[in-house]
Amino acid sequence: MKIKKIVPYNIRKILPMIGIAGASLMMGGCQKEQPTRDVELTFSLNDCSNVILIHPDETNYNLSREVSDIIKYLDAQPDIRTIYLVPKDNWRGVQAQSVTAIRNNILSYAIDYSPKVRGRGDFNFELGAASKVPDDSLWYVKNGWTINEYYNRQQR
């Protein structure tokens, strides 16, 4: 003698249960995201050692440049989200050709090194100097710095 048991089911209840079961298989455990932080490195016209290291190249009497060790170290840390390069002190004596030189010989090495490196803060270049080199001034602004912002606020 065979016993048949009929299990009543409702299709409206079965589909959501299958969906929940499938979703729970796809999810691993809850992983807590590691908190990230931002770091600011300051530099001045007289001291840019936080940004770049300059070595004399004895073979052809040039200078070789590389990103500073602190930027390399901070870039390798997974909990660092952004490394901000912040200008300090006075930049008023910087004229147009120096605006280009600061970009090409110092800051571009760090900006090109890692997407974590950005600019922050204001350069108070000599008035009108940045407008004489528009490609460079746009590069500064695109990478996060402002130019003569304090002066511009005073004029408003």
Residue scoring higher pLDDT (32 or 67): 67
Listed residue (142, 127, 138, 120) closest to 95, CA to CA? 127
Reduced to 3 states (helix: H, G, I; strand: E, B; else coil), residue 90 is coil
CB-based burial of residue 146 (10 Å sphere; 0-12 exposed, 13-18 middle, 19+ buried)? middle
Instruction: Indicate if the alpha-carbon torsion angle 24, 27, 28, 30 is positive or negative.
Output: negative
Residue scoring higher pLDDT (47 or 58): 47
Listed residue (104, 108, 154) closest to 127, CA to CA? 154
- 151 alpha carbon, distance to own chain's centre: 26
- Residue 127: what pLDDT? 87
Residue 17 has pLDDT above 60, yes or no: yes
As a residue count, the chain comes to: 156
**pLDDT classification of 62: cutoffs 50, 70, 90:** confident
pTM higher than 0.75, yes or no?
no
